[in-house]
A and B are shown apart, each in its own frame.
Chain A
Amino acid sequence: MDRRKFLKIASMTGLSVVAPVFSRPARAAAPYAGPFFVMISARGGWDPTYYCDPKPPGAFNNGIYMAPKAAGNLSFAPIAITQAGVGLNDPLSMGFVMSNDAFFSKHSDKLLVVNGVNMETNNHLRGVTTIWSGRGSEGYPSLGALLAAAKDPTLPLAFISSGGYDATEKLVPVTRLSSVTPFRKIAEPNRIVPTDPDNLARYHMSSTFDRIRAAQGERLQAQVSDFNLPTMKRSGSALFLARQGDDTLASVPLPDTLITMPTELSDLQRMCQQIQFALAAFEAGLAVAVNLELGGFDTHGNHDRDQVRQLAKLNFGIDYLISEAQAKGLDGSMITMVGADFGRGKGYNGPNPTDGKDHWPVGSAMFFGAGIAGNRVVGGTDDADQLPLLVDPETLELTDDEELGVELKCADLHVAMREFAAIDGSDEAGRYPLLANELSGLFTG
């Protein structure tokens, strides 16, 4: 029985009531061609005033930069990176960090920066929930999961997550990836040594293996049909659906080796390795969305050292994503969102150089990729209090008109992204409505 027939039977048995997973459409025959979505979380809460929402000299920095610098229409914090200044010990590490200057100079033409986003919270849990689901309360899927569910949830690797807020509300399973050799072995489970192209030995004859799978499928269908307990029905159905596409993983063009870095950059190494997996999955047309995460931004102490170091790592990671995507020809079909729990500030929590910055309920987000008009900044914060400025929702320009202007919120960004990604009319998006301001042409300019 194919998936479409199974879904039909499932629907007839009222399965969708207890198993939303069965409300999925039948799987498309062709590999998914995009758009692909990448969500990058700067976990812990980044400091936009040290990044894409710089401020004049004052209480917001200890003189770590003197004045904002421009790259095209973007303004950024020109913070110099030194090995000692960011607390790195291994000289080789400097090859894996990137200054704001280098990053924005190289990529400003692609970037849409949204500043002055009222996150409405300074609580980590609510913060990550807000930035990645569009509302502060739990119960909504993360944007990556929603996009994967609306685009093609039947893909074997539809939603890959390496951490962060990855709630799915059971719209689509979460997949985790780790290392290359095990992946290759499970991609061809019947080959004894799949890592050796010359060794074609198999555990079972191909016909036997097909026979095993047929028997396996026949029994599982009967089991699921016989199950009445909702948990049994749900789990059996999930197993049935997860088994589809048995031979597709071998088409994932994994690199022979994954990028490695000095031990002190293990977090960035993991992020970049996950980028390698994600891009390979995109290239094979087996995934829609991926969550990436870089932690270490919760700099209540040693802000000027640790926040700057993490931003420099983040710059490298984003640059790596862009360059790798370009090399694979995926940059024209990939859309990326970068965000954090909230911002930091305002100012420091103490007078010493080793003091930090606490949580601040105003943040920023960055977007780039296919169809997004770059070299633009929307929104902002005032220089005195780091509070959101109003935006004209029609022109997207800053305005003082309190009747006309709106304060940007995450729901606005999500609604705009849903529309831009053409999932706003989907059943999945309809199930999770957001109350938002309509921002005309936020992504297209």
Chain B
Amino acid sequence: MRRISKRRHGGRATLAVGAAVLLAAAGCNNGDDQVTTDGGTTGGEGTSAGPESTGDDASTDADTTTDADPTGTTGEPVECTPTREFFVDEVWPMMGTVCIQCHDPTGVAAEQFADFLLLPPIYPGFIDANIENIRAIKGYQYEGVPLLLAKPTGLTDHGGGDILPEGSAEYEAIVEFLEQLEAPLECPPPDANASFADVELLDAWETLRKAALHLQGRLPTEQEYGLLEFGGGDDEDLEYVVGTLLEGPAFEDRLLELFNDVLLTDQFFANNSTNRAASVLNNNQWPNRTPFTQNLLMQSTEERRRINKAIAREPLDLIRYIVRYDRPFTEILTAEYMVFRPDTAWFYDVDIAFDNPNDYDELQPGLLSTADMPDVPWPHAGILSSPMWLNRYPTTVTNRNRHRSRMIYQHFLATNVLELASQAIDPEAGSAIFNPTRNNPVCAKCHRGMDPLAGAFQMFSESDDERLLPEPAWHGEMFSPGFGTEEMPPTEFANGIQWLAQRVVEDPRFSLSIVYHVYKGLTGHDALKYPTDPGAPGFDGLVIAWENQDAFFRKVASDFELSNYNLKTILTAIVMSPYFRARDMPSAPSDARAAELTDVGTARLSTPELLARKIYATAGVRWDKSVGGDEYLLTDYLVLYGGMDSDEITDRLPDVNHIMTQVAMRMANEVACRATSFDFSKPQSDRLLFPYVEMSDTPLNAPGAIKDNIQHLYEHVLGESLELDHPDIELAYNLFKETQFEGAISAANNDPDSETIAIISTCRATTNPNTGAAIPAEQQVVDDPTYTVRAWMAVLTYMLSDYRFLYE
């Protein structure tokens, strides 16, 4: 049960203000006090009362608390339904389907400067923005009736007609909502777990295993498990241990993988290119470019790949640097520096002191400059001024940086500008309009928001992406440079992206966008979109699913801000949440409840990268093409297994297909082939996979040891703790037993087509598959007279292709 309170949470309030700014940014707020909802003026006619309060009236947004009795006046528990939730459940269904047809920022009412505007669901925070907007106009009345009711009921002129019968449920909902706005009910943020009371979560140990595989690409250490054991495995302990996973090279690599899924700048070293990143840069600015790309320096292929990768990963290295040193994540846009490695410092000719210039992984901040215009400072603005980002999202003389503007919205403001074009257009309507991007409402729908951000890049050439210009130059016929309602002062044009970056990170959608990215990286799911089709099956459940997730995201975003934008706050919160930990339910849910649980759970198909790391973590060998060489899942099978190359394929397949199951089967065979004999070549105490058996153990002489080892494999490979009498132990045991029996007989037959004592050469253990070093002769596994090695290969193949191995 939630506590009744009027206290407004900082994050939520900020969100509303920020989104309200966007409303005005759409050009829909004429800034005067006249009230129109359809273009007709009523405010000046003497029939309307002025506003009782403005949208920023402290009296309605005050930090006051109503100490309402949480148990109600009778002492009985009462349900707290906050005003926000009441709006979502009772008011928005009508406003979001009927009113919004004219009152969205690009609708008929907006074109006539109506103050009553509704943001559609493509805007993050649209609920709060709409509530704020209604709060701002709730005082407007016609003959004592709020205009919000007087207009749609036909009491006064309304361009949309009489659409709301007085006394209808929708009418009464608006009445109550307006009353509630006088003293909004707010409740403490719901416990994320409360909405999932009927959902079983991974326990602390299971969560730690999943988190370690996700964030470090390894299994938890004994020490980490010990920390949980010591504290009893409560959430506080778990959160602490999860926090320790958020550092180190493996974690940083995983982090970069996650953010490359957003930025896609790894395109520049796709296919192990030796010069693709460098070749897109301008030689006049950085004269080392041409000697490098033409290899006039006679560098080795390996060295050129390393340097090219360092150049390509420069924007991601900024993220690595920020997270490594717990700097505010807002610096991904506001950093007035660039992060260099020794290779990139050389390439860009930047004088930086490295602690160890031979450590190619060392990161140091520095300032970029150009050789041909050394007096023009590089307008550092984190990723926005990154030469790689500027090339990954190029522009042209006619595109005029709009592409970059769209990507800023998409990457850092959680808004897909293209979805603004939500209505069909008439070709004839705009065929004769001069300067259509500004003057044709159909075009201006997107350009009004997009073009001002584009204007921030006016220090960069439109024909050579990262080429700095001596002075800013822009296009007067476009919407003026700016952000939201704020126009950029001309004095800031030279530093436009710095000016813009500061405003983007202050917008509450920035925090939400980062939460969305991390959520997708860890769960594989996009943030849910607000369901807009009331006729869709399970609509009510989908709305609840969205509400739960939205509340969770807003809480995480708020905590992120309170932590001074420490990214690890988000990572930890998502790992601890049911979205990462839900493992099952005790019974099948109803259809309605099933809809509410959309995208909740542990059933994420591992990406090729996650699976590759898991193979090594569990089997102790890599699935690579040669010792220490490229891994199959990151090269030959990357696309087939649903992965992306950041170049031609830029999204991941979320659902398994037949090809992917075949890749998994091949992987299981090849890895089991390498890992089984190799593990047996080690002393028993050093083995990862077979610590309970020897090669001589057969079902005839050691059935107990075999079952013990199968139990170990379920635990080690799949993370399942099964009792020895579990049917799945018996299933694997029978697989072992029948394979061993059949194989041993076949090998004994010595027929041309029969099995042999010797293991096929590919699967023998004569060299260490991870290092290539020869295994001492006495430890080599070449022969398998009892056929147990190959029987274990069969069991391991079965494990490595199991659902629990392929999904997390």
A203 touches B763 (CB 8 A): yes
Within B651-671, the residues touching A (CB, 8 Å) are 653, 655-663, 665-666, 669-670
B349 at the interface (CB under 8 A from A): no
Distance from A188 Cβ to chain B, minimum over Cβ atoms (Å)? 9
B424 touches A121 (CB 8 A): yes
A92 at the interface (CB under 8 A from B): no
With A14-B591, A212-B735, A249-B662 already in contact, the answer to whether A124 and B418 are too (CB < 8 A) is yes
Pick from A182, A192, A362: contact of B760, CB under 8 Å = A192
Query: Which A residue sits closest to B639, measured CB to CB?
Result: A178
Q: At the interface with chain A, which of B235-243, B466-474, B594-602?
A: B594-602
Q: At the interface with chain A, which of B57-65, B302-310, B507-515, B797-805?
A: B797-805
Contact with A along B277-306 (1 / 0, CB 8 A): 000000000000000000000000000000
Query: Which A residue sits closest to B638, measured CB to CB?
Result: A178
Distance from A207 Cβ to chain B, minimum over Cβ atoms (Å)? 6
A186 at the interface (CB under 8 A from B): yes
Query: Which B residue sits closest to A182, measured CB to CB?
Result: B636
Query: Which B residue sits closest to A240, measured CB to CB?
Result: B803
A212 touches B742 (CB 8 A): no
Distance from A162 Cβ to chain B, minimum over Cβ atoms (Å)? 9
B657 touches A174 (CB 8 A): yes
A328 at the interface (CB under 8 A from B): no
Complex alpha-carbon distance, A163 and B661, angstroms: 21
B481 at the interface (CB under 8 A from A): no
A6 at the interface (CB under 8 A from B): no
Which residues of A are found within 8 Å of B601, using beta-carbon distances?
229-232
Distance from A205 Cβ to chain B, minimum over Cβ atoms (Å)? 7
A300 at the interface (CB under 8 A from B): yes
With A121-B425, A192-B760, A387-B428 already in contact, the answer to whether A182 and B637 are too (CB < 8 A) is yes
Which residues of B are found within 8 Å of A424, using beta-carbon distances?
none
Within B690-732, the residues touching A (CB, 8 Å) are 727-728, 731-732
A385 at the interface (CB under 8 A from B): yes
B582 touches A228 (CB 8 A): no
Distance from B666 Cβ to chain A, minimum over Cβ atoms (Å)? 4
Query: Which A residue sits closest to B791, measured CB to CB?
Result: A208
Complex alpha-carbon distance, A189 and B661, angstroms: 10
A215 touches B735 (CB 8 A): yes
A418 at the interface (CB under 8 A from B): no
Complex alpha-carbon distance, A57 and B642, angstroms: 48
Which residues of A are found within 8 Å of B461, using beta-carbon distances?
none
A364 at the interface (CB under 8 A from B): no
Pick from A157, A207, A230: contact of B598, CB under 8 Å = A230
Pick from A157, A236, A239, A244: contact of B659, CB under 8 Å = A157
Query: Which A residue sits closest to B529, measured CB to CB?
Result: A138
B338 at the interface (CB under 8 A from A): no
Pick from A17, A157, A228, A232: contact of B658, CB under 8 Å = A157
Complex alpha-carbon distance, A361 and B743, angstroms: 68
Complex alpha-carbon distance, A140 and B789, angstroms: 51
B802 touches A219 (CB 8 A): yes
A118 touches B199 (CB 8 A): no
A231 touches B597 (CB 8 A): yes
Distance from B104 Cβ to chain A, minimum over Cβ atoms (Å)? 14
Complex alpha-carbon distance, A390 and B588, angstroms: 55
B22 at the interface (CB under 8 A from A): no
Which of A223, A239, A385 lies at the interface centre, i.e. has the most chain B CB atoms within 10 A of its CB? A239
A82 at the interface (CB under 8 A from B): no
With A208-B794, A211-B738 already in contact, the answer to whether A186 and B666 are too (CB < 8 A) is yes
Distance from B439 Cβ to chain A, minimum over Cβ atoms (Å)? 14
B346 at the interface (CB under 8 A from A): no
Which residues of B are found within 8 Å of A185, using beta-carbon distances?
666
Pick from A123, A157, A174, A244: contact of B446, CB under 8 Å = A123
A177 at the interface (CB under 8 A from B): yes
B806 at the interface (CB under 8 A from A): yes
Query: Which B residue sits closest to A138, measured CB to CB?
Result: B419
Which of A174, A212, A232, A270 lies at the interface centre, i.e. has the most chain B CB atoms within 10 A of its CB? A212
Distance from B201 Cβ to chain A, minimum over Cβ atoms (Å)? 11
Distance from A310 Cβ to chain B, minimum over Cβ atoms (Å)? 15
Contact with B along A149-188 (1 / 0, CB 8 A): 0000000110000010000001001111111011101110
Chain B: interface size category = 35 or more
Which residues of B are found within 8 Å of A223, using beta-carbon distances?
803-804
A190 at the interface (CB under 8 A from B): yes
A242 touches B660 (CB 8 A): yes
Complex alpha-carbon distance, A14 and B790, angstroms: 41
With A121-B425, A203-B673, A207-B742 already in contact, the answer to whether A229 and B603 are too (CB < 8 A) is yes
Query: Which B residue sits closest to A157, measured CB to CB?
Result: B658
Which residues of B are found within 8 Å of A136, using beta-carbon distances?
424
A204 touches B656 (CB 8 A): no
A59 at the interface (CB under 8 A from B): no
Complex alpha-carbon distance, A87 and B601, angstroms: 51
Complex alpha-carbon distance, A219 and B730, angstroms: 11
- Total residue contacts A-B, CB cutoff 8 A: 233
A216 at the interface (CB under 8 A from B): yes
Complex alpha-carbon distance, A39 and B594, angstroms: 35
A189 touches B666 (CB 8 A): yes
Pick from B442, B589, B658, B802: contact of A175, CB under 8 Å = B658
With A208-B739, A215-B731 already in contact, the answer to whether A239 and B657 are too (CB < 8 A) is no
A236 touches B658 (CB 8 A): no
Which residues of B are found within 8 Å of A385, using beta-carbon distances?
428, 431
Complex alpha-carbon distance, A234 and B798, angstroms: 21
A105 at the interface (CB under 8 A from B): no
Which residues of B are found within 8 Å of A43, using beta-carbon distances?
none
Contact with A along B411-449 (1 / 0, CB 8 A): 000001011011011111001000000000011001000
A414 at the interface (CB under 8 A from B): no
Pick from B585, B605, B798: contact of A229, CB under 8 Å = B585
Complex alpha-carbon distance, A231 and B588, angstroms: 12
Distance from B725 Cβ to chain A, minimum over Cβ atoms (Å)? 15
Distance from B264 Cβ to chain A, minimum over Cβ atoms (Å)? 14
With A211-B735, A238-B655, A249-B662 already in contact, the answer to whether A176 and B642 are too (CB < 8 A) is yes
Complex alpha-carbon distance, A361 and B426, angstroms: 8
Query: Which B residue sits closest to A126, measured CB to CB?
Result: B421
B398 at the interface (CB under 8 A from A): yes
Which residues of B are found within 8 Å of A358, using beta-carbon distances?
398
Contact with A along B384-427 (1 / 0, CB 8 A): 00000000000011110000000000000000101101101111
Distance from B194 Cβ to chain A, minimum over Cβ atoms (Å)? 17
A305 at the interface (CB under 8 A from B): no
Complex alpha-carbon distance, A361 and B803, angstroms: 47
Query: Which A residue sits closest to B592, measured CB to CB?
Result: A17
Which residues of B are found within 8 Å of A120, using beta-carbon distances?
424-427
Query: Which B residue sits closest to A130, measured CB to CB?
Result: B424
Which of A136, A174, A215, A227 lies at the interface centre, i.e. has the most chain B CB atoms within 10 A of its CB? A215
Which of A118, A203, A301 lies at the interface centre, i.e. has the most chain B CB atoms within 10 A of its CB? A203
Query: Which A residue sits closest to B422, measured CB to CB?
Result: A137
Complex alpha-carbon distance, A436 and B492, angstroms: 52
Distance from B8 Cβ to chain A, minimum over Cβ atoms (Å)? 34
Query: Which A residue sits closest to B732, measured CB to CB?
Result: A215
Within B448-491, the residues touching A (CB, 8 Å) are none
B659 touches A186 (CB 8 A): yes
A201 at the interface (CB under 8 A from B): yes
A216 touches B657 (CB 8 A): no
Which of A125, A157, A176, A350 lies at the interface centre, i.e. has the most chain B CB atoms within 10 A of its CB? A176
Q: A124-B418, A236-B803 are in contact. List 11 more A-B contacts (CB 8 A).
A: A123-B421, A125-B416, A175-B657, A186-B659, A226-B584, A227-B584, A231-B582, A231-B598, A231-B603, A239-B803, A300-B398
Please list 28 pairs of residues, one from A and one from B, whose beta carbons are closer than 8 Å in the complex, sorted by A's number. A14-B591, A123-B418, A125-B421, A136-B424, A139-B533, A174-B657, A185-B666, A189-B666, A190-B669, A203-B673, A203-B793, A203-B797, A211-B738, A215-B732, A216-B798, A219-B731, A219-B803, A220-B803, A229-B600, A231-B600, A231-B603, A242-B661, A246-B665, A249-B658, A301-B399, A361-B425, A361-B427, A362-B427
Q: Which 9 A-B pairs have the closest CB atoms?
A: A231-B601, A120-B424, A123-B421, A156-B658, A125-B418, A235-B603, A173-B657, A300-B398, A186-B662
